[in-house]
Amino acid sequence: MGNPKGFLKTKRQKTEYRPVCERVKDFERVFVLRGDAESRDQASRCMDCGTPFCHSGCPVGNYIPEWNDLMHNRNWERAFELLNATNNMPEVTGRVCPALCEAACVLGINDDPVTIRENELALIERAFKKGTIKANPPKHKTGKKIAIVGSGPAGLSCAAQLNQAGHKVVVFEKDEKIGGIMRFGIPDFKLEKKILDRRIKLWEEEGIEFKTGANIGKDLSVIKLSKEYDVLCLAGGSRMPRDLKVPGRELKGVYFAMDFLKQSNERVVGSKGLWDEEMDAKDKKVVVIGGGDTGSDCVGTAHRQGADCVIQIEIMPKPSEERTDAYPWPKYPLILKTTSSHEEGGERKWSVMTKEFVGEKSVRGIKCVQVDEKFKEVPGTEFEIEADLVLLALGFTGPEKEGMLTELGIELDDRGNVKTDLKYMTSQKGVFSAGDMRRGQSLIVWAIAEGRRAAHFIDEYLMRESSLPIL
């Protein structure tokens, strides 16, 4: 390492955020990008471990110690080459990944781990700024045609890999723009959509074709599509939201979180449409049910829309603020996560079960009760929360079954996801699947890894062998 004692001399630098009073007034990026000098100092904290456990934590197998060393030694171009070798969208994971790698960092055993995610972001943003990243069309063509259905992180990473292998790749997306949950589910204050557009433009220059407004299985027969292409890869995600079937669910003002976020994201970028004004948080008492990242995104979005107050409730008990024996290093710990959205205001409540939505035509409140660790109601703890807008952020139950999957007769696993063999092929020959549609609801970094692995096996299926990495 350039500085073998860097981890002793330099402390972890926390993410710098814009002032709360400023950032809640807009949907611009909430954090401040680090400069080169600060990034080099933070990269010097990487210990060049004999066994870098960060690799085991990272689904895409990032060369973390290697590019940290190169960053510290100002070899930015070579550092970018290594980062680019394993991740098709580091500018996205550098913004929204929960940094599984940092949880497995050896330095984290008795100190603060390396800022791997922010180092990654600094590296890729510098590469864009300096013009290091340029379109790199494949040098040869195989004559094979591949259709990828779904333009989320799995579909896009799969498309990028297969395009580099020389295949003709067409990505079909049912929405009006490319990006899937990255575009419509993540607010701009976490992931600016110009970041996606920048990458998509590069892929178009490299030869990938994108077709939007194409709902395969509804507007276009998937059987017909399978006959026109040598291979299909289904990467439609896990889009069926988990509902909360309690009395009063039919009242106006109770919405799925993803519908709320999608409408907000569309309005932020100026898309024209018929908006549901009831789904706007301005001057309303907002309750978000669900304590995960989607719930947090709803909290931050509600603040920016001018909510009167925001409360987030979760049926699970409040997590520990430190690692527990149940999650020893290097496991990813389930600890209390306070996001930038939580720091902007609002209230969080744990161990709360929703019993009923109350109101006449529109929701006006929620009847709740405290529960113990086994989710049994605690007698005498009933209470009510005022609510004009309720957002259900309870996760997803699986992919949409009607249409594409039923038309193809795709076999599902016992969780309702697309079933594949070890090489990502479904029950139908020549039809592959990757991402949340196959794996179930998960993280963007896992979707990227899935797309890359699927690309390897698709290339192998078409050409009998593949030089594409399996990670």
- CATH number of the domain that residue 22 is part of: 1.10.1060.10
Element (H, E) at 147: strand 145-149
470 within a domain of the structure (yes/no): no
Last residue of a domain, one of 101, 129, 157: 129
Domain with 52, as residue range(s), is: 6-129
Let me know whether 149 and 176 are in one domain: yes
In this structure, the strands spanning 389-392 and 254-256 are parallel
**Residue 1 reports pLDDT greater than 70:** no
Residues 263 and 389 in one domain: yes
pLDDT tens, residue by residue, 104-139: 999 999 999 999 999 999 999 999 999 999 999 999
The pLDDT of 412-437, averaged and rounded, is 97
pLDDT exceeds cutoff 90 at 294: yes
Among 449, 353, 394, which residue's Cα sits nearest to residue 90?
Answer: 449
Residues 231 and 364 in one domain: no
Residues belonging to the chain = 471
CA distances from 68 to 111, 121, 123, 220, 447 (A): 18, 12, 9, 47, 24
Cβ proximity of 286 and 324 under 8 Å: no
pLDDT of residue 242: 97
Ranges of H-type helices in 331-410: 340-343, 404-408
Confidence of residue 188 (pLDDT cuts 50, 70, 90): very high
Is pLDDT above 80 for 12?
Answer: yes
Q: Strand locations in 388-461, DSSP E?
A: 389-392, 396-398, 431-433
Judge if 249 and 303 occupy the same domain.
yes
The pLDDT value given to residue 402 = 92
Let me know: does 251 contact 392? Beta carbons within 8 Å: no
Share of the chain above pLDDT 90, in %: 96
Residues 53 and 188 reside in one and the same domain = no
> What pLDDT shows up at residue 274?
81
Residue 1 falls within a domain, yes or no? no
Question: What pLDDT digit, counting tens, does each position of 223-246 carry?
Answer: 999 999 999 999 999 999 999 999
Residue 2: its pLDDT value, please?
A: 61
Does the reported pTM lie above 0.85?
A: yes
- Classify 435 as helix, strand or coil: coil
330: domain CATH number is 3.50.50.60
180 falls within a domain: yes
Backbone angles phi, psi at 241, to 5 degrees: -70, 145
Q: What is the pLDDT of residues 32-67, one digit of tens each?
A: 999 999 999 999 999 888 899 999 899 999 999 999
> Are 372 and 431 in a shared domain?
no
Kindly state whether residues 264 and 366 are assigned to the same domain. Answer: yes
Q: Flag whether pLDDT at 4 surpasses 90.
A: no
Residues 268 and 378 in one domain: yes
For residue 35, count CB atoms less than 10 angstroms from its CB and return exposed for 0-12, middle for 13-18, buried for 19 or more.
exposed
Cα atoms in the 13 Å half-sphere on the side-chain side of 190: 26
